[in-house]
């Protein structure tokens, strides 16, 4: 009963409906925090959606986020909003398709390296294009979209992401991906088209990252390549996902909330030491909590039941 799809989806729907009322109870600062948490929830969960089961570490979250934001900066005042989102989605998915098709058929290391430099590449290409062709670096985004609407859009996107993630986890694709994560050679031998499965999931995960960037773009009135393609965003999304735990769909959220609050505090009080502390926190997580909070909770529960088998399952 507790794990039946209807129950899980229903409970999720009630939770998201309740969260939609947040803007009526908080002040401007609280709303800004809620927007931060919502956007990083999508980024970290979308990251874990792909990197969790496949164990392919993507370092390019902000490349897609920035593509979304830049699409809005360029087209925001030209096209109606739904159409802008559609173009952003297509751009992000095309980029993911190119990256995925060229690297995901090789060993994981090539994918990591490629995504590691992808942000820098896109940033420089956009800068080059703006300087040479349009002769401006930096654009103003004047869109009539207020903070509440941004929050609701993010919330809706997060709800879709969780629904999609939940359904994938129960589908043949999700099962195939868990086998790939376990052992790719085995996966190929039981007849899984590993490249297609990986590319499909990577494109899907990139779609959500791109849309987050597009929704967030109106928050800045001014965008230039350095703002849109800030590598710290990729880094933070990875930290949050790892802290929460990538093996469960709800894992990353557990990392997003404390980390967003911590980063907010650090940014306000120690702006000069921000990157340094970020690095230290990251190292602590990698060394002390390799399975994340969700993984630690699962192993703890299994341990208290003295049941060796579920420890293995939790991994």
Partner 1 sequence: MLTNAILSGLTMGGMYALVAMGLTLQYGVSRIMNLAYGEFVIAASFVAFLLFTSGGLSPLVSLLIIVPAGFAVSYLVYGILLTPLVRRARSREALEADSILSTFGLLFIVQGLMLVFFGGNYTSYSYFNTPVQILGTTIAANRLVVLGFAVLFGAACYFFLMRTRTGVALRAVAVDPIAAGLVAVDVRWAAALAFALGGAIAVTGGVLVSMFLTFNANIGVVFTMKALIVVIMGGVGNVAGALAAGIILGLVESFVATFVDPGLTIAVTYAVFLAVLLVRPGGLFGTAK
Position among 40, 65, 114, 202 found at the interface with partner 1 (CB under 8 A): 114
Tokens 């499909």 belong to which residue? 200
The DSSP secondary-structure symbol of 24 reads: G
For the CB of residue 40, give the shortest distance to partner 1 in the complex, in Å: 17
Strand partners for 140: 222
Distance, in Å, from the CA atom of 54 to the CA atom of 74, rounded to the nearest integer, reads 34
Q: Furthest-apart CA pair in the chain: how many Å?
A: 66
What's the token pair of residue 171?
């589908």
How many C-alpha atoms does 253 have within 13 Å on its Cβ side?
9
Q: Which is nearer to partner 1, 185 or 304 (CB)?
A: 185
For the CB of residue 106, give the shortest distance to partner 1 in the complex, in Å: 5
Position among 7, 15, 17, 102 found at the interface with partner 1 (CB under 8 A): 102
Position among 109, 167, 186, 300 found at the interface with partner 1 (CB under 8 A): 109
Distance, in Å, from the CA atom of 248 to the CA atom of 165, rounded to the nearest integer, reads 10
**Per CB under 8 A, does 273 bind partner 1?**
yes
Window 35 to 64, contacts with partner 1 (CB under 8 A): 55, 57, 59
What's the token pair of residue 7?
């129950």
Distance, in Å, from the CA atom of 189 to the CA atom of 184, rounded to the nearest integer, reads 9
Strand partners for 80: none
Position among 157, 238, 240, 294 found at the interface with partner 1 (CB under 8 A): 238
What's the token pair of residue 251?
């894992």
**Per CB under 8 A, does 186 bind partner 1?**
no
**Per CB under 8 A, does 266 bind partner 1?**
no
**Per CB under 8 A, does 83 bind partner 1?**
no
Q: Which is nearer to partner 1, 207 or 243 (CB)?
A: 243
| Residues near partner 1, by CB under 8 A | 55, 57, 59, 102-103, 106, 108-110, 112-114, 116-117, 120-121, 124-125, 127-128, 131-132, 231, 235, 238, 242, 272-280, 282-283, 286-287, 290
């Amino acid at each position: 009963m507790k794990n039946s799809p209807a129950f899980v989806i229903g409970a999720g729907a009630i939770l998201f409906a309740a969260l939609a009322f947040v803007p009526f109870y908080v002040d401007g600062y609280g709303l800004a925090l809620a927007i931060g948490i919502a956007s990083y929830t999508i980024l970290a969960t979308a990251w874990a959606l792909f990197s969790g089961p496949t164990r392919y570490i993507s370092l390019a979250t902000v490349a897609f986020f920035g593509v979304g934001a830049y699409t809005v900066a360029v087209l925001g005042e030209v096209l109606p909003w739904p159409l802008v989102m559609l173009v952003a989605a297509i751009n992000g998915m095309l980029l993911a398709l190119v990256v995925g098709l060229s690297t995901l058929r090789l060993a994981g290391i090539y994918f990591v390296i490629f995504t590691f430099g992808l942000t820098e590449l896109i940033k420089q290409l956009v800068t080059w294009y703006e300087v040479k062709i349009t002769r401006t670096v930096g654009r103003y985004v004047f869109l009539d979209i207020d903070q509440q609407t941004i929050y609701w859009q993010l919330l809706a996107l997060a709800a879709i992401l969780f629904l999609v993630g939940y359904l994938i986890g129960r589908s043949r694709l999700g099962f195939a991906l868990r086998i790939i994560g376990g052992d790719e050679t085995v996966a190929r031998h039981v007849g899984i088209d590993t490249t297609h499965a990986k590319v499909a999931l990577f494109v899907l995960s990139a779609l959500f990252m791109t849309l987050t960037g597009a929704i967030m773009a109106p928050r800045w009135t001014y965008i230039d390549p350095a703002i849109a393609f800030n590598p710290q965003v990729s880094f933070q999304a990875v930290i949050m996902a790892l802290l929460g735990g990538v093996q469960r769909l709800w894992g990353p959220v557990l990392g997003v909330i404390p980390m967003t609050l911590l980063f907010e505090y650090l940014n306000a009080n120690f702006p000069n030491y921000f990157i340094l502390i970020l690095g230290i926190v990251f190292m602590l997580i990698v060394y002390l909590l390799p399975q994340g909070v969700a993984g630690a909770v699962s192993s703890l529960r299994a341990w208290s039941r003295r049941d060796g088998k579920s420890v293995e399952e939790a991994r």
